[in-house]
Structure 1
């Protein structure tokens, strides 16, 4: 197999990682910026650093992506499948970023791999997809919503006699910690997905065995997602931070700590590649619902849910189309 094809696929995977960073930067910092706890540039820098650190901690999610979604053949045909899956994910990321919709880069990647795999008639591991992707995809936002609601109710009761000014000042300071925790969880989840794809490409090329992640792959993916995060995701940040609900510092802390906890459990405990976007969006809706249900702008929330539903099939369709075009062009 030509080395140039392997290098091209690895570079495209890192480009996806970069788009993941700027697409999902809002996940970690939207609440802290919208409440003015942090300036946008400070929040982006903090998110970039924590994304970098989170990406280097674990390999569980990378293993699921690298060996659990599809098994392409070990030849140029297999590399075409991986390439097409990445193109499908990147295309959907760019479309939803342009529209300002916080869709899931994780599910775009998984949808791309599924679509390319089906088009190429390679083995698609549906049991893993159901247990590690579909079920956590549904559970993580539900848990995020309910847990964030419960945490916010508890905070309202604990601080019911405190002065609002002092409470807001304390929680505004606490948002630096909660934003860092959320960014760390994003690196723990999303950078690992790119690591898994690169390992899949290396195995397909016959250059690597097993699902362990080489150090250079970890560093490359971690740096790419950190750079993407620092470049910012202003469109999506506005949607999460302002359009879903007007957040105060206490609700920002509750949403971020809840969402990051869900991400840690899913990544370290279950090795499940869940969506940081789904989780934090649901947590924001959960804390907002403690005011009253009408406080959440459900029309905007509905558009977000629509993007969630469309992500896997649309990325899969683009990837399948890319595979068929590549099959015609490449020898």
Structure 2
């Protein structure tokens, strides 16, 4: 495993993904070795924490304590994926732990997406936990199949679906931000975490036959489904937290969406030092939007509706959106990789 990871990094990989919750058999010794490799190669780990429960043992708090321990013991940059959904209803307690670790100088960064609902595959190990309800504070009806909107009723039904269709995308309605003020506060704690990035965790588009959509039609096909964050993450954050609620300034909102993600990668990936900022010698990736009209339109019933308000988009110096019109033939994007190390 270590040899393969090292080879991938030498070929230009930007870091090491650690999907603890999806591969629960990985032990502390193995993960310590992976983090030690990340420290030697000076790259971040992108960590989906091991446990997401609100109760011990194997609580979200235990997972964050382990993550802090890896950072302290190995010196590896531990980047926390999905601070909101990974912490579930225990965001407040986890937030205190991470803030203290950062204050002590440990290399830990975070990101979150501005939704109380997560998305994953049905095969995820945590769905088959016999204590699913007690550990997560949500019933099986919180798990919703993406292709047809169906919500499961009990464990037996979900386990049967897991066996028959493990790769199916599902929505997991974790925080009820529409009806529960405390849940809204919990989402704020993760989304507005000081120095934290906004990240979409965008999922692939799936058609009504359950297959991943790989075409290039625009607009997307009517039956293409995913998660609203795949179409509206950043515009939702700017609309709701910046313009409507004024929870952060416009400058700070743009920083959380653009500059902070670039800074998280800039130490290990030189190409990111020219991203997320307007300055001489940068990559000429520029978005111009109408602040009063910028808005997400994707919902959990119409997930593929594009956002509104972007007037111009320039990528690598080439226009991609002009006067609100997308040039569907333009392909200016370029992959970001670390320098290749010759063997």
Q: TM-score scaled to structure 2, two decimals? A: 0.25
* Structure showing greater relative contact order (alpha-carbon pairs closer than 8 Å, 6 or more residues apart): 1
More helix as a share of residues: 1
More strand as a share of residues: 2
